[in-house]
């Protein structure tokens, strides 16, 4: 949308928010600054131009980047001049008809009560309100200063002068910075605020992207214990796949072993905040096989015990499946992840309803129909935690198992689950290490 300077000025005086909401579109471009210098300025401008923007505000983005700490001549100098990004951008090919709006440093004029370019003849009348100072004032809940007595130290006075920002705008800034850690109210820029893409047979509660969200099944008491491992009459190569994380979603959802109903909620970080994948957008549907359990007491030849979870599934079909849905899935193989010293098998399958299901009957078929998929799965499993500052995971082997080997893994974990629930002996053990807090009271497990 193109807006003339005159239109902007007119709207600023007639609308408290600055622009006419009936004719203004606000869009947030999810591309945070990484301090890459003038080249990054070009990227931001050209990407916005490609999205239809006709104006670009060129600020002092490259400024503040320090040079080498080993510099001798000018150790305190910035690497780039404050105008360097603007100069490079104005001489860049490909900008086309996009107009550049230069953003120069402005200060608050205590005489006129407005933000403006400082008058060199009376600099003592101007107060600098940097972004850092503005954020501090907002966190402190600064209130309007006296119109007749503007203090030189705004932070100490904890006030904001009139003319710095429209009243409702400042109230919004204060509300945000005073409550920025409230995970129920604020969701980071990279995480969409949407309704849960849940199956109609489930019942979602709370807000997706927050710790208040949960999902239970309407027909089964437990996602883990009451849904059969296989469809009725299905062969050994077909399992029921329960979707926790639909394809392309970064919310780290999982069945909760310790909560009643083994409902699906969002996993949390150590600080209690909702957990997200940060390595990238999953190109697979992710979930579990019900009525399975990777027993920690079952130690692999490499010396690793099971991860104490139901068996994980990575479904590599054509598109997203609904959260909480139950899908018959054809086994293609598996990969054995070693995650922080625990064995964490990943069964690879394709749902029977997928357009390519008839063509993909093995991992070899998968790479013929969808070249490079196995390599992408291996890369993801090894590296998906590195973006959180953790070391790479390892695999027992980079080559997936055969279908028969994957079926054997599923059967072993199903037998371990039966022991957990007491189905193999008619009674369950009074104590199983790792299962002390599990909710096992559903009809399919230890319930009546």
> Which residues are identified as catalytic?
277
Question: Using N-to-C axis directions, what is the helix angle for 167-178 and 131-139, rounded to 10°?
Answer: 70
Residue 220: φ, ψ to 5°: -115, 135
CB atoms within 10 A of CB 192: 12
Separation of CA 206 from chain center: 18
Instruction: Calculate the alpha carbon distances from 324 to 72, 200, 219, 281 in Å.
Output: 62, 9, 12, 19
Q: What does DSSP assign to residue 323? A: B
Identify which of 325, 329, 328 has the alpha carbon closest to the alpha carbon of residue 223. Answer: 325
Please list, in sequence order, all residues whose beta carbon lies within 8 angstroms of the beta carbon of residue 228, skipping any fewer than 6 positions away: 240, 290, 291
Helix (H) or strand (E) holding 50: helix 38-50
Separation of CA 69 from chain center: 35
* Cα atoms in the Cβ-side hemisphere of radius 13 Å centred on 189: 7
Identify which of 376, 203, 242, 251 has the alpha carbon closest to the alpha carbon of residue 322. Answer: 242
Q: What does DSSP assign to residue 228? A: -
Task: Look up residue 115 and give its two tokens.
Answer: 């933000």
Q: How far apart are the first and last CA of the chain?
A: 64
- Contact criterion met (CB below 8 Å) for 196 and 210: no
CA distance 418 to 421: 5
Strand-pair partners of 338 = 343, 394
- Contact criterion met (CB below 8 Å) for 241 and 284: no
Identify which of 391, 412, 393 has the alpha carbon closest to the alpha carbon of residue 401. Answer: 412
- Contact criterion met (CB below 8 Å) for 198 and 323: yes
């Amino acid at each position: 949308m193109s807006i003339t300077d005159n239109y902007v000025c007119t709207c600023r005086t007639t609308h408290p928010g600055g622009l006419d909401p009936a004719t203004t579109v606000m869009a947030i471009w999810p591309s945070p600054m990484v301090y890459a210098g003038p080249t990054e300025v070009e990227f931001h401008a050209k990407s916005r131009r490609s999205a239809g923007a006709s104006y670009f505000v060129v600020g002092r983005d490259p400024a503040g980047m320090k040079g080498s700490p080993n510099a001798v001549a000018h150790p305190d100098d910035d690497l780039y001049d404050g105008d360097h990004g603007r100069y490079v951008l104005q001489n860049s090919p490909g900008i086309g008809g996009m107009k550049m709006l230069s953003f120069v440093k402005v200060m608050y004029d205590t005489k006129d009560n407005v933000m403006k370019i400082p008058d060199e003849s009376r600099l003592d009348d101007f107060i600098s309100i940097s972004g850092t100072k503005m954020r501090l004032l907002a966190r402190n809940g600064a209130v309007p200063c006296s119109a007749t007595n503007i203090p030189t130290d705004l932070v100490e006075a904890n006030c904001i002068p009139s003319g710095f920002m429209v009243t409702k705008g400042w109230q919004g800034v204060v509300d945000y910075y005073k409550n920025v850690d409230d995970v129920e109210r604020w969701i980071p820029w990279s995480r969409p605020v949407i309704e849960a893409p849940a199956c109609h047979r489930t019942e979602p509660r709370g807000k997706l992207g927050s710790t208040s969200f949960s999902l239970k099944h309407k027909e089964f008491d437990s996602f883990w214990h009451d849904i059969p491992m296989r469809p009725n009459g299905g062969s050994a190569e077909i399992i029921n796949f329960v979707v926790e994380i639909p394809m392309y979603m970064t919310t780290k959802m999982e069945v909760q072993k310790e909560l009643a109903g083994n409902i699906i909620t969002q996993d949390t970080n150590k600080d209690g905040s909702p957990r997200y994948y940060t390595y990238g957008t999953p190109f697979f549907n992710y979930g579990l096989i019900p009525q399975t359990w990777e027993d920690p007491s079952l130690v692999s030849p490499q010396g690793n015990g099971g991860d104490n979870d139901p068996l994980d599934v990575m479904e590599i079909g054509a598109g997203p499946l609904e959260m909480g849905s139950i899908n018959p899935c054809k086994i293609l193989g598996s990969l054995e992840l070693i995650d922080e010293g625990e064995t964490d098998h990943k069964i690879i399958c394709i749902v029977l309803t997928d357009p390519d299901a008839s063509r993909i009957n093995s991992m070899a078929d998968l790479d013929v129909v969808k070249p490079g998929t196995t390599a992408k799965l291996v890369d993801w499993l090894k590296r998906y935690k590195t973006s959180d500052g953790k070391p790479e995971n390892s695999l027992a082997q980079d080559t997936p198992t055969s279908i028969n080997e994957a079926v054997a893994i599923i059967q072993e974990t199903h037998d371990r689950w039966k022991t957990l629930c007491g189905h193999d002996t008619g009674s369950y053990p009074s104590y199983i290490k790792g299962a002390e807090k599990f909710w096992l009271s559903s009809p399919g497990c230890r319930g009546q």
